[in-house]
Amino acid sequence: MTAKESIRQFALELGFDECRITSAEPPDHGSAYEQWIAAGRHGELAWMERNSHKRLDPRKIVSDARSIICLTASYSGDRTGSVGAVARYARHRDYHDVIAEPLKRLTAFVNELLDEEPRSKASLWYTDTGPILERDAAQRAGVGFVGKHTNLISRGNGNWIFLSEIITRLEIEPDEPEVNRCGKCSACIDVCPTEAITAPFELDARKCISYLTIELKSSIPEEMRPAIGGRIYGCDDCLQVCPWNRFAQEGQIMAEHHRAELNEPDLIELLSLDEQSFRNRFRGTPMFRTKRRGVLRNVSVALGNTADESALPALEVASNDAEPLIAEHAKWAMERIETRCR
């Protein structure tokens, strides 16, 4: 068995759904990334600009890197209703924590195949945590193709996949790249509530509901709030409509980590959470990283868009919250409900 075959076999044994290889050469779409950053379409994601030089060359992450091992872990979940919607990926234990252990084991396995010391520095793993253009690498490795919504699509698992990588000095024969298979389909572009997909394969993050409800740390622009609807964490619309999802399956790694209570949470109850109760509820989930201030900001907006006058007492309390971000959005929600219910 070759090194490549043994790595792939062990990866599948660990529960990964796919394992393919590409070289550690600079990404194919590095110039497009630079143009995207220069245009400011990354919004407040300053870390994306700060580490651009590493994203444009994996060998600046691991010196003398030869290969990138690209892995997927698929997830699934039921489609939620229109109120209290949480993105599917976030209705699980935090994938960073779940995927870390099998990634560490696979990285150690790869390092044992190297004839150098110290082996511990010969490879470096990431799961959406490092300065690497992972979708670019995954497409070049043949894991999937970048769709018109700019997310990676797997022919075997649709849109519902987490990506991970191991950058290594081990030289491994690369796999054939995947080609784009979107065809004439524009469903993801057509369904986007905020027109954040400005053209095929082009995304303005500043308009994306996932960015607005997760990555944005400040106030959500008032003109964008109505389009958020009842969503409180992320948006799956462009992913949901992709026809490749008909092949999607729940993978081994994430299957046991689903958090059913996040399928359709009660917004009024969420709005009442103090700091400790928020921590108790969301610790260990992706939503914990957005903190109480961010989640309750989103809950206020969702109530403003969907609730009737019965939500006003809870919003009144929130409008006096010690956290200004929550108070601001709660006041906006009250005004919106009162205008709608007159």
Contact 123, 161 (CB under 8 A): no
> Which is catalytic among the residues 78, 128, 190, 266?
128
Distance between CA atoms of residues 15 and 229, nearest Å: 36
Distance between CA atoms of residues 237 and 242, nearest Å: 9
Backbone angles phi, psi at 281, to 5 degrees: -75, -40
Contact 55, 133 (CB under 8 A): yes
Give me the count of residues in the chain: 342
Q: Which residues are CB-contacts of 281 (< 8 A; sequence separation ≥ 6)?
A: 273
Give kind and range of the element (H or E) at residue 320.
none
Tokens of 162: 């987490």
78 catalytic residue (yes or no): no
Give kind and range of the element (H or E) at residue 134.
helix 134-141
Distance between CA atoms of residues 313 and 334, nearest Å: 9
- Written as one letter, the residue type at 313 is P
- Catalytic positions are 128
